[in-house]
Structure 1
Amino acid sequence: MTNDDRIGPPLLGGERETLRAFLDYQRETLAMKCA
């Protein structure tokens, strides 16, 4: 398995920023698994 360089989504913050960070994290996870 490759090195996990993903940055986890923040636990605190505004709703929009938290959602965007969570979606970016999920996109990075999918890209890592499909690589």
Structure 2
Amino acid sequence: TRHGKGNFRGKVDELIQRYFENLSGKGSSDTDT
């Protein structure tokens, strides 16, 4: 959250990374969502 622009971009990027991590089974035990 450095600038207002990168806020949304960072959010989406984080969601995508978590999604792929969940696919790999890494974030399975990390979060239930």
TM range (shorter): 0.5 to 0.7
Q: Which structure's residues are more often helix, by fraction? A: 2
> Could you state the TM-score of these two structures normalised by the residue count of structure 1?
0.56
RMSD: 0.7
How many percent of aligned residue pairs carry the same amino acid? 5
Runs of 5+ in structure 2 lacking a partner? 26-33
Runs of 5+ in structure 1 lacking a partner? 1-13
> Could you state the TM-score of these two structures normalised by the residue count of structure 2?
0.59
Q: How many residues align?
A: 22
User: Which stretches of structure 1, 4 residues or more, deviate above 4 A after TM superposition?
Assistant: none
Larger radius of gyration: 2
